[in-house]
Amino acid sequence: MPIFDQGYQHWKGQLSGHAWRWLAITRHGVRIGMQGRVFRAVLLVSLLPAMALATALCIWGLVERRSDLVSTIVQFLVSAQILSPGIVDDPRHYRLEIWTLCYNFFLSCELTLSMILILLVGPNLISQDLRFNALPLYLSRPLRRIDYLAGKLGVIAAFLGLAIIVPCLLSYGLGLLFSLDFSIVKDTYRLLLASVAYGVVIILSAGMLILALSSLTRNSRWVALFFLGIWIVSNIASGLLELADREQRRIAFNREMTAATPQKTPAPKTREERRRRMEVMNAAQAERLEKLEAQQTEASKSDWRPLVSYTGNLSRVGRQLLRTDACWEKLSEVQPLALRKRFLATWTGPQYPWYWSAGVLSGLFVLSAVILSFSVRSLDRLR
């Protein structure tokens, strides 16, 4: 029978730094997440908006170069009233605006797809460790709570970074190559930084939120239901509150206009009088509609109801980072003067201060950090 030496044996392997110990947890979580077929399918679908963004930027680069390859596409966009002839005549003047709107539409699509990705991969990150009592095994190693949480957050960051940040960088490079004009870097570098910053905001906010929910229960199904409630139910509640407020304001406005309008007017006797009466009525109706739209726009600057929506808050911060509303205002200059206000009311989002949404997201982030701290704290003594 062989006899083994039970004494101390020196470790001859390569020691890694303490700062990167969270990376092992992230790698393991990414491998586990990629094993799900549904998750892989959703991840591939989330790359489709990236392909659309890259295609749009490449086409716009050819439009700036007046290439014949996109002349048919430009004619179609103009005929379909998607692009104004004034923009096509001077595409470089509206370069930043077009790029910003392309990135804005891409990030709007990815915001929804990111919530789905988090819903698929996030609920099991901590709840599964609680269910199988794996936290004592983690914390019995030379691993701190911050390393454990950073590793779990790294799983979310890896997948969302692949869906949001990487496409932003690659699409920017393709747009630069197709335009063959390096002055585009001077015009749009801030847009690239804002897009990456917005992606980081989504990762940190949604990642910390799903981790906090996952640490509250051992059942991942409850975590998924809680996250669905925060995501979808909050959107529905916010939409209903806004709809009810607009309807009440419209009814009050109509009552006010009705009270100010004469009730009895003599009936027109000739065709010319009827025609003039119709013109006056149409002009009065247009004026009432314009006043109502102006009232709705002014009220939206102090409306708190969009704050109920979680993704609405993320979208508001993203619009501020990208300066999307300023782009719509500049594009409204090519619209007829009578249609500019309606154009802005159609395409711009809620106008309440962006720091309201930033405050809501910051509060959720701090609350999530506190929940995570207390959830892992009791088992940290076993380390």
pLDDT digits 0-9 by tens, 245-265 = 778 877 776 676 666 555 556
The stretch 175-180 carries a mean pLDDT of: 84
The CB density around residue 355, as the number of other CB atoms within 10 Å, is: 12
pLDDT at 118: 94
Domain-by-domain residue ranges, the chain?
Answer: 21-259+292-382
Would you say the C-alpha torsion 209, 214, 220, 223 has a positive or negative sign? negative
How far is CA 164 from each of CA 103, 161, 379, rounded to the nearest angstrom?
Answer: 10, 5, 35
The stretch 7-13 carries a mean pLDDT of: 62
The stretch 66-91 carries a mean pLDDT of: 79
pLDDT at 60 over 80: yes
Select from 310, 302, 309, 300 the least CA-distant residue to 237: 309
**Which of 58-62, 173-177, 330-334 has the weakest average pLDDT?**
330-334
Task: Give the burial class of 369: count Cβ atoms within 10 A of its Cβ; 0-12 exposed, 13-18 middle, 19 or more buried.
Answer: middle
Locus of tokens 């470089």: 92
Would you say the C-alpha torsion 127, 128, 132, 136 has a positive or negative sign? negative
The stretch 58-85 carries a mean pLDDT of: 81
Give the rounded percent of residues in the chain with a pLDDT score beyond 70: 81
- 50 — pLDDT class (breaks 50, 70, 90): very high
The stretch 84-112 carries a mean pLDDT of: 88
Distance, CA of 247 to CA of 354 (rounded, Å)? 24
The answer to whether 315 and 330 are in contact (CB under 8 A) is no
State which amino acid sits at residue 112: T
pLDDT at 269 over 70: no
**Which of 94-103, 119-128, 152-161, 285-294 has the weakest average pLDDT?**
285-294
**Which of 10-19, 102-111, 332-341 has the weakest average pLDDT?**
10-19
The stretch 163-185 carries a mean pLDDT of: 88
Select from 15, 17, 24, 91 the least CA-distant residue to 60: 91
How far is CA 47 from each of CA 40, 61, 110, 171, 338, rounded to the nearest angstrom?
Answer: 11, 21, 9, 12, 40
The stretch 120-131 carries a mean pLDDT of: 88
pLDDT at 232 over 70: yes
Instruction: Tell me the three-class secondary structure of the chain, residue by residue.
Output: CCCCCCCCCCCCCCCCCHHHCHHHHHHHHHHHHCCCHHHHHHHHHCCHHHHHHHHHHHHHHHHHCCCHHHHHHHHHHHHCCCCCHHHHHCHHHHHHHHHHHHHHHHHHHHHHHHHHHHHHHCCHHHHHHHHCCCHHHHHCCCCCHHHHHHHHHHHHHHHHHHHHHHHHHHHHHHHHHHHCCCHHHHHHHHHHHHHHHHHHHHHHHHHHHHHHHHCCCCCHHHHHHHHHHHHHHHHHHHHHHHHHHHHHHHHHHHHHHHHHCCCCCCCCCCHHHHHHHHHHHHHHHHHHHHHHHHHHHHHHCCCCHHHHCHHHHHHHHHHHHHCHHHHHHHHHHHCCHHHHHHHHHHHCCCCCCHHHHHHHHHHHHHHHHHHHHHHHHCCHHHC
The stretch 102-113 carries a mean pLDDT of: 94
pLDDT at 236 over 90: yes
Better-predicted residue by pLDDT, 281 or 122: 122
Distance, CA of 204 to CA of 152 (rounded, Å)? 12
Summarised one tens digit per residue, pLDDT across range 298-308 is 777 788 888 99
- Non-local (6+) Cβ contacts of 134 within 8 A are 128
- Non-local (6+) Cβ contacts of 122 within 8 A are 156, 207, 210, 211, 213, 214, 223, 227
The stretch 261-288 carries a mean pLDDT of: 65
pLDDT at 138: 73
Q: What average pLDDT does the structure give for the chain? A: 83
pLDDT at 225: 92
Better-predicted residue by pLDDT, 136 or 196: 196
